[in-house]
Amino acid sequence: MTETKMGTLYGIGLGPGDPELLTLKGYRILQSVPIVAYPKSPDGRCISRSIVADYLKPEQTEIGMDFPFKLAESSQPKYDYWAGVLAEHLAAGQDIAVLCEGDPFFFGTFMYLFNRLSPQFPTEIIPGVSSVMASASMLRTPLTYRNDVFTVLSGILPAEKLTKQLQHTDAAVVMKLGRNFEKVRNVLKDVGLIDRALFVERATTDRQRIVPILEVDPAEVPYFSIIVIPSEWDWAKG
Amino acid sequence: MTETKMGTLYGIGLGPGDPELLTLKGYRILQSVPIVAYPKSPDGRCISRSIVADYLKPEQTEIGMDFPFKLAESSQPKYDYWAGVLAEHLAAGQDIAVLCEGDPFFFGTFMYLFNRLSPQFPTEIIPGVSSVMASASMLRTPLTYRNDVFTVLSGILPAEKLTKQLQHTDAAVVMKLGRNFEKVRNVLKDVGLIDRALFVERATTDRQRIVPILEVDPAEVPYFSIIVIPSEWDWAKG
């Protein structure tokens, strides 16, 4: 009896949204695997799939995974379930690419599959361009110089915590804005950073929008928006 | 008299070192330009060029720019000089790709050219995979979950500042180690993070080396090394 060679689980970082910001390696592996899996939101949207839709092949099997997108105690069973589904394919020797917006290990959902499957199956992570870096590029603002301290914050954090963090960094990015936008903007005003702060929605995608931060309508801020507070440019630095 | 169309300055993020971690967009633009420029160290090495050496074409003109690699008051004249050289080509209508390890706007030297040339010439930034994300991938450790605070620090910072920053973050990366390694490791011991800290040299390159952090010889740490302190994995998080 021959033993079946196990399949490899690939976590592929797709980058921030522009399909061309996928890496050469991600592209090669994506096209080589028989199975492509990705998160599916409750309303059926598959944002990560839409980024690389043009690269997928009709003969590839697709698995849309309905992860819980909100904080809830019930999230573990769903991750267990989908890890189980992927495990069956891997055990049968099929390679799987899991699509990950941005970078697989920088926030996101891939980690929950990785933590469940990597002890049993060969796993490879293909890093990707983070929306952190892409947003600074689209805003045409250098983010960090020399020995700057750089901090990434979630807009979901309480105002007090955001305030403290922003007071002790040279440059920062605030992600996960959406309904948290107004709180974050008020914090930036309070700590005197509002004049340096820049705002971009859906950076690098065909729906990218750059709006002066004081003109943003807090009621219309998508989740995939970012505030960038670049390091202060000082000619003495170079 | 026809006016010459100005050339475009491209800052291309090459990613952390594996040539395949260049983006599709970076690859396309790199192969389309007549001129490729990159930093050259005092001993003649061109690290960024070596990453994409296989993608360059013999007919492309190469410009090796000898930037000052150390903090020195004399750095501005060099940036002025090379900006002037590139400006002549751009004014003559030639596109230029400037090679940038990692991401063009996340530390690095491209910013100094961008700040000098973008007011006059069309400029486009192609973001790249940062060694921050790539190191976590190579160390096979998810970096950040949900609403973690994430901080990037330079090993050049004084111990006191490193200590304070590390005490107020959920996950961190310390770059620019080299001769600063021992100081950083001592700080990690002092703040109780040494057991979580991971070390990688030259992540994703063919000279990558992962060593348990307590076994690293401080005398042999290259500048392109990174310490990753991942967020603490908590099953209750998902």
**Domains of chain A by range and CATH?**
9-126 (3.40.1010.10), 131-237 (3.30.950.10)
For residues B36-47, average pLDDT: 92
Instruction: Tell me which residue of B108, B103, B87, B111 sits closest to B35, measured CA to CA.
Output: B87
Q: What is the percent of chain B with per-residue pLDDT over 90, rounded to a whole number?
A: 86
pLDDT at A2: 62
Which of B79, B154, B233 is the closest to A147 by Cβ?
B154
Contact check, Cβ <8 Å, A144/B152: yes
- Report the C-alpha gap between A128 and A133 in whole angstroms: 11
Do B93 and B121 touch, CB atoms closer than 8 A?
A: no
Dump pLDDT digits (tens) for B188-200.
999 999 999 999 9
- Report the C-alpha gap between B225 and B174 in whole angstroms: 9
pLDDT at A54: 98
Which of A18, A111, A157 is the closest to B142 by Cβ?
A111
pLDDT at A72: 54
Q: Is B28 on the interface with A (CB under 8 A)?
A: yes
For residues B13-26, average pLDDT: 98
Neighbours of B80 (CB within 10 A): 11
pLDDT at A68: 72
pLDDT at A230: 97
pLDDT at B80: 94
pLDDT at B3: 72
A13 pLDDT more than 60: yes
pLDDT at B177: 96
This model of the complex carries an ipTM of 0.95
pLDDT at B67: 81
> Between A and B, how many CB-CB pairs are < 8 A?
183
pLDDT at B1: 54
B163 pLDDT more than 60: yes
Angle between helices A75-91 and A110-117 (to 10 degrees): 60
Residues ≥6 apart with Cβ < 8 Å to B127: A15, A16, A21, A129, A133, A134, A136, A137, A204, B13, B23, B103, B104, B105
B4 pLDDT more than 90: no
Q: Is A127 on the interface with B (CB under 8 A)?
A: yes
Of residues A223 and B74, more confidently modeled: A223
- Which residue in chain A has the smallest CA separation from B109? A145
pLDDT at A42: 85
Q: CA torsion angle for A70, A74, A78, A80 (degrees, to 10)?
A: 130
Per DSSP bridges, beta strands B198-201 and B225-229 are: antiparallel
Q: Which residues of B touch A127 (CB under 8 A)?
A: 15-16, 21, 129, 133-134, 136-137, 204
- Report the C-alpha gap between A150 and B149 in whole angstroms: 11
* Stretch 148-167 of chain A: residues touching chain B, C-beta under 8 Å: 148-154, 156-157, 161, 164-165
DSSP-derived 3-state class of residue A21: helix
Helix H or strand E segment including A200: strand A198-201
For residues A52-60, average pLDDT: 98
Across chain B, mean pLDDT equals 94
- Report the C-alpha gap between A186 and A196 in whole angstroms: 14
The edge-to-edge listing of strands for the beta sheet with B96-100 is B61-65, B35-39, B96-100, B9-13, B123-126
Instruction: Tell me which residue of B136, B138, B111 sits closest to B18, measured CA to CA.
Output: B138
B86 pLDDT more than 60: yes
Contact check, Cβ <8 Å, B130/A133: yes
Distances (CA, A) of B5 to B87, B90, B94, B122, B142: 13, 9, 9, 10, 47
Q: Which residues of B touch A30 (CB under 8 A)?
A: none
CA distance A61 to chain B (A): 24
Which of B129, B151, B238 is the closest to A112 by Cβ?
B238
Q: Which residues of A touch B165 (CB under 8 A)?
A: 149, 168
CA distance B152 to chain A (A): 5
Dump pLDDT digits (tens) for A177-236.
999 999 999 999 999 999 999 999 999 999 999 999 999 999 999 988 999 999 997 655
Dump pLDDT digits (tens) for A69-113.
665 556 788 999 999 999 999 999 999 999 999 999 999 889 999
B70 pLDDT more than 70: no
For residues B76-87, average pLDDT: 94
Instruction: Tell me which residue of B209, B210, B166 sits closest to B185, measured CA to CA.
Output: B166
DSSP-derived 3-state class of residue B173: strand
Of residues B44 and A151, more confidently modeled: A151
pLDDT at A75: 77
Q: What is the percent of chain A with per-residue pLDDT over 70, rounded to a whole number?
A: 94
